[in-house]
Amino acid sequence: MFADWFASRGWSPRRHQLEMIAAAEAGSHALLVAPTGGGKTLAGFLPSLVELAERGPRPAFGPGSGVHTLYLSPLKALTTDVERNLMTPIREIGLNIHVESRTGDTKQSKKARQREFPPDILLTTPEQLALFCAWDGAREYFADLKCVVLDEVHAIWSGKRGDLLSLGLGRLQQFAPGMRRVALSATVDDPEMIAGWLRPGRPSTAARSPYPFHGEGTARPVSSLSRSDGEGDHAKHGGGVDRDVTIVRGDPGAPPVIDVLVSEGHVPWAGHTGQHAIPEVYEALKRSGMTLIFVNTRWQAEFVFQSLWAINEDDLPIALHHGSLAAEQRRKVEAAMARGDLRAVVCTSTLDLGIDWGDVDLVIQLAAPKGASRLVQRIGRANHRLDEPSRALMVPASRFEMLECQAAREAVAANAFDWEPVHTGTLDTLAQHVMGCACSEPFAMDDLYTEITGCGPYRGLTYEQFEEVVDLVATGGYALRTYERFARIVRTRDGKWTVRNAQTAQRHRMNVGTIVAAATLNVRIASRRGASLGGASKQLIGGRKVGEAEENYFEQMSPGDTFVFAGQVWAFQGINGMDALVTHAQDKDPKIPSWGGSKFPMSTSLADRVRAMIQDRDHWRVLPPDVQEWLELQAARSVIPDAETLLVETFPRGSRHFLVAYPFEGGLAHGTLCMLLTRRLDRLGVGPLGFVCTDYSLAIWSIKPMDGLDLGALFEPDMLGDDLESWLAESFMMKRTFRNCALISGLIEKRQPGNEKTGRQVTFSTDLIYDVLRRHQPDHLLLKTARADAAAGLLDVARLGQLLTRIKGQIRHVPLERPSPFCVPVLVQIGRERVGGGQAAEMILDASAYGFDEADLIAEVMADAPPELAGAE
Amino acid sequence: MNAALRQALSPARCPSGGLRVHIEGEPCVLRCSGALWVLNHRTLIAADLHLEKGSAFAARGQMLPPYDSRATLDRLEAEIDALQPAAVVLLGDSFHDARSVGRMAADDKARLDRLAAGRDWIWLEGNHDIAALAGAMDDLVGEVVETMALGSLRLIHEPQPSVQPGEIAGHLHPAARVAAHGRGVRRPCFVTDGRRAVLPAFGAFTGGLDVRDPAIAGLFAEPPMAAALGRDRVHALAWETLR
């Protein structure tokens, strides 16, 4: 039947599609690793389609009437796309298979119907899975589940969404022990890592697994000795646990053709927008069919979009696509792409993932690619045909970026992908899951612990940690035990935990799946509501929604400030609740420069390649002449560092003294390093004033010279101890991170029946909670979680640690009279930070305050103060 | 700050970091803690303590840390130790809800009683705690009043409309926001024009209302001064710099 269908379309099933069917027949879990365009999604579904085609009539209710296959995709849009693509073979072969999708946008009536009459194949998102886990009766609903298909798993497995997904899978496996797990991934460096994440239960050979079960070999607390353990658990899990994951590799496509655009033979010294190359990018568009122009930040997308339209003499249909635009507007752009109405789309990572948006002819990566895997993923957008090479053009915005582009090009040619660090399951996410489980049905501690430690990221969870999480869910996890009577989950008579009452469960379900994004405001066009009654002053109200942007972007703005958003210049008018109100602005030049550092730091493996390239003179020949000259000049004026040493230059300039270092470890690690270095420099009395960093280097300036310092001691790795700890505790970023952990864990609920708490209100109160908690219970689970999150994510502490270890005893200090060629990019970089840390807020307040200087004002007022008041305070 | 406002307030920095001003002629210090110190009467005034706000949320299923009462009492105790007031006036909404007194941890309650010993201790009624005060008078040290006069000042929980010379009120939780270097800073603040004043909330978990909100700004005929609480000093902010 399927062979006929393939033949009718002039296709033959691909090798990997047949291997996926074979894996299914063997009852094995499967991970398909294949490049884009290889019929990956169909390969994931084929075994289910075959099974469903061969089954007999489906009972209307009772056993066998439930969902057969659950498909989970990280993007809502992907589910509708897949639904469409899946319906084609089903219709053409004439199969009686019922497919439906379910996302946050699905109508309530349809959702209710799906609960009564489950489709054969249900297409949804990980957030919905988290909600299913909290359903009353989830166990019955999924009892017939045979297969779960995870699409684009490489994009999701290693974060909090991946944690929640893994826990959800563990739950489903309990409901349907025979369920097979099928994951579809783009090409990755180490498929074994994802296979280890996917595999249910504890690995039989711990040594081989990237997720060793840490609990094994450590002493168990006496209280848990009575638990069933070992083989007995497996029987409870059923067959799914014992089976391994079959890794199926798709055929590599034709190698991509990647060019680097060197504008008029020159690469600019510094910059990050690629502005210089816009005319040539435009020429490239004119010569090509549909082109995707990838940039790294949404503000860069806005900038490039504006710049292209400024010279768009042929009126080419060029569109904009990024995460801040209103969903409706994005859908319009996507539809126009699919129809082939557009010539180019300027986009961010929103178009990285799998949807097939019509025929893309060329991919332009404007500014540095940051990692080989991301680059391959993006290039794969062009030409979804395996046998034809994809075409891509990289446009470096500066000379270091030129090195990075060249390194990325070589990495792609060598099939060297970026690797990801092992990710340990987060406890705030676990808290959310535990609450969901209690909302669904009562759970016994030991059973749930066994289930959770069978989930990839949580294999190392100790029983004590688990108890701590359950305590957090129940009463907030406080040492002061005054909340027992308010507990959200309570013990039943047989010792199981269950949700306190129906309202508590309802509130949890409203908040479930919250993997928090930064607080965003709706950007709306303001209109003046006429004063109808009593002549009260006219008030601005929000009209049409233009998009969404992070709240903190507007924190620095005053009414009247102009900025670029959604391809236009707007004047900011003020904030009203969850809305940032804007009006059309007359100026062409926005007052507030829209900039943002790259969200993604340069990957470790790409950084290694860049360092290797710099020290290898023979390698320089592949670079444009002006970049070669720049490297030669650096060799003459300063030194070219070898790959293992850290070059540190110091020089005076104006009234300040500079220290510039070149670790090439990415912006996040550099930012953290600068914060810690300036603390030390402050203690050393050199008066650090500010710093700035890029993905390649960092610069710090100070009042006194820094060339006499013991640099070995300055860069001593022990800064990651107390220095990091004390800086973190005060840091604004830590409060943000804590807020997210509090929301994810359910300690604070974002949504309550009847009213939605705005991000603004949540931020404000969680700051106060953070301060009080830090003072009174510094070892609270959520504080520890927030610290770990900050260290792993925003601070890149692991990478900084590797850097400091790598360069220990390997610092090459070069005192200079004037700036070196290498230091130019960092010195002209925007986004300078003033040294201040915890003091910054006080400095801002002080700078805004009247000059009530103690000395002169006390004198002024004391001159006529009544004598009895003098010194009365 | 215009000359008239400056004249009315005649502000000066105190060594403690507080700001000395005159309200309806009465010399007062705007303390860093958010309390008001009325010099001539040796009276400490603090508004909106919202004790047991954490447990009030916990009772409704949001497990905020149970440490807010002790954090608030820590700060109140520090002020009492520093100033040795003859009288302490709590300007209403001292308790978050009607059952707050019953939920207080025993040692927090004992500390409250100890602080009140040996001085006048006055609870003004607020909208949040009128029931708590009525229900717990046997358990609490001090006396409960609706409003009271203190020199040229008149103390009340909720600011009254129109011109109210000498009125000292709370209730509104004023907060001021300034921005610089791409960052905004928002802090609780006093608001005063030299004739009346609104105090910031003293409680550890109390949020704020922007001072430019009509509910606060509307109390003043001319732009008043917003005095924001810094770490170790009170910052007098120009109305036009507020964001």
User: Residue type for A786, please?
Assistant: A
Q: What is the CA radius of gyration of chain A?
A: 29
Query: Measured in whole angstroms, how far is the alpha carbon of residue A384 from the centre of its chain?
Result: 26
- For residue A747, the chain B residues in CB contact (below 8 A) are 62-64
**CB B109 within 8 Å of CB B173:** no
Domain A2-210+231-251 sits in CATH 3.30.300.30: no
Contact B237 A840 (CB under 8 A): no
Contact A761 B27 (CB under 8 A): no
Residues 6+ away with beta carbon under 8 Å from B224: B5, B191, B192, B193, B239
- For residue B67, the chain A residues in CB contact (below 8 A) are 478, 480, 772-773, 775-777
User: What is the rounded CA–CA span in Å between residue A282 and residue A274?
Assistant: 12
User: What is the rounded CA–CA span in Å between residue A270 and residue A268?
Assistant: 5
* CA distances from residue A471 to A321, A433, A435, A507, A514 in whole angstroms, order as listed: 44, 13, 11, 19, 20
The string of pLDDT tens digits covering residues A186-214 is 888 889 999 999 999 875 444 334 443 33
- Average pLDDT estimate for B63-72: 94
What local confidence, expressed as pLDDT, does residue A756 receive? 45
What local confidence, expressed as pLDDT, does residue A863 receive? 45
**CB A132 within 8 Å of CB A165:** no
- CA-nearest residue to A780 within chain B is B65
CATH (domain of B224): 3.60.21
What local confidence, expressed as pLDDT, does residue B68 receive? 93
User: What is the rounded CA–CA span in Å between residue B121 and residue B90?
Assistant: 8
- Exposure pattern of A704-714 as b/e (b: 16+ CB <10 Å)? ebbbebebeeb
| Burial (0-12, 13-18, 19+ Cβ within 10 Å), A222 | exposed
* CA distances from residue A23 to A113, A157, A182, B183 in whole angstroms, order as listed: 33, 22, 10, 55
For an interface test with B, give the residue of A852, A858, A861 to mutate (most B CBs within 10 A): A852
Residues 6+ away with beta carbon under 8 Å from A150: A72, A156, A165, A181, A182, A183, A184, A198
**CB B155 within 8 Å of CB B197:** no
For residue A309 the two structure tokens come to 């339209």
**Helix ranges, A418-559 (H):** 427-440, 445-452, 463-475, 502-511, 551-555
Residue A260 pairs in a beta bridge with A394
- For residue A748, the chain B residues in CB contact (below 8 A) are 62, 64
Q: Which of A844, A850, A872 sits opposite B181 (nearest CB)?
A: A844
Whether B89 has a pLDDT exceeding 80, the answer reads yes
**CB A371 within 8 Å of CB A404:** no
What local confidence, expressed as pLDDT, does residue A856 receive? 38
Contact B187 A846 (CB under 8 A): no
User: Going along A478-538, which residue ranges are E strands?
Assistant: 489-491, 497-499, 520-529
What local confidence, expressed as pLDDT, does residue A388 receive? 76
User: Residue type for A519, please?
Assistant: A
User: Going along B79-224, which residue ranges are E strands?
Assistant: 87-90, 120-124, 143-145, 147-150, 153-156, 167-169, 174-180, 183-192, 197-198, 209-210
The string of pLDDT tens digits covering residues A104-160 is 778 899 999 999 899 999 999 898 999 999 999 999 999 999 999 999 898 888 888
What local confidence, expressed as pLDDT, does residue A342 receive? 92
The answer to whether residue A777 neighbours chain B at the CB level (below 8 Å) is: yes
Contact A478 B63 (CB under 8 A): yes
Q: Which of B10, B29, B243 sits opposite A873 (nearest CB)?
A: B29
For residue A53 the two structure tokens come to 């085609």
Residues 6+ away with beta carbon under 8 Å from A439: A134, A135, A136, A499, A504, A505, A508, A509
B16–chain A nearest CA distance, Å: 8
> Closest by alpha carbon to A114, among A131, A127, A102?
A102
Q: What is the CA radius of gyration of chain B?
A: 17
- CA-nearest residue to B43 within chain A is A873
- For residue A477, the chain B residues in CB contact (below 8 A) are 63
What local confidence, expressed as pLDDT, does residue A518 receive? 53
User: What is the rounded CA–CA span in Å between residue A74 and residue A161?
Assistant: 9
- Domain containing residue B214: 3-241
Range from A202-206, A510-514, B55-59, B154-158 carrying the lowest mean pLDDT: A202-206
Query: What predicted TM-score, i.e. pTM, was given to this entire model?
Result: 0.81
What are phi and psi for residue A489, nearest 5 degrees?
A: -125, 145
CA angle A308, A309, A312 (to 5 degrees): 90
- For residue B59, the chain A residues in CB contact (below 8 A) are 486
The string of pLDDT tens digits covering residues B39-54 is 999 999 999 999 999 9
Query: Measured in whole angstroms, how far is the alpha carbon of residue A848 from the centre of its chain?
Result: 36
What local confidence, expressed as pLDDT, does residue B110 receive? 95
Residue A372, H or E segment? helix A372-379
> Closest by alpha carbon to A763, among A428, A516, A515, A430?
A516
What local confidence, expressed as pLDDT, does residue A751 receive? 64
- For residue B181, the chain A residues in CB contact (below 8 A) are 834, 840, 844
Contact B12 A503 (CB under 8 A): no
Residue A392, H or E segment? strand A391-395
The stretches in chain A having pLDDT less than 50 are 204-238, 530-537, 595-598, 754-764, 836-840, 851-873
Q: What is the 3-state secondary structure (H, E, C) of A705-749?
A: CCCCCCHHHHCCHHHHCHHHHHHHHHCHHHHHHHHHHHHHHCCCC
Count: domains in chain B:
1
Range from A187-196, A719-728, B111-120, B122-131 carrying the lowest mean pLDDT: A719-728
B235–chain A nearest CA distance, Å: 6
DSSP A107-148: -HHHHHHHHHS--SEEEE-HHHHHHHHTSTTHHHHTTT--EE
User: What is the rounded CA–CA span in Å between residue A172 and residue A174?
Assistant: 5
| Higher per-residue pLDDT: A455 or B60 | A455
Q: Where are the domains of chain A?
A: 2-210+231-251, 257-413, 520-528+539-584, 635-845
What local confidence, expressed as pLDDT, does residue A729 receive? 75
CA angle A714, A717, A722 (to 5 degrees): 90
The answer to whether residue A749 neighbours chain B at the CB level (below 8 Å) is: yes
Contact B65 A488 (CB under 8 A): no
For residue A152 the two structure tokens come to 């684009």
The answer to whether residue A484 neighbours chain B at the CB level (below 8 Å) is: no
The answer to whether residue A558 neighbours chain B at the CB level (below 8 Å) is: yes
What local confidence, expressed as pLDDT, does residue A532 receive? 41
- For residue B39, the chain A residues in CB contact (below 8 A) are 869, 872-873
Count the neighbouring beta carbons within 10 Å of the beta carbon of residue A312: 16
The string of pLDDT tens digits covering residues B171-202 is 999 999 887 655 567 889 999 999 999 999 99
Residues 6+ away with beta carbon under 8 Å from A378: A292, A294, A352, A363, A365, A369, A392
User: What is the rounded CA–CA span in Å between residue A176 and residue A180?
Assistant: 9
What local confidence, expressed as pLDDT, does residue A534 receive? 39
What local confidence, expressed as pLDDT, does residue A838 receive? 40
Residue B224 pairs in a beta bridge with none
CATH number of this structure's domain A257-413:
3.40.50.300
Count the neighbouring beta carbons within 10 Å of the beta carbon of residue B90: 28
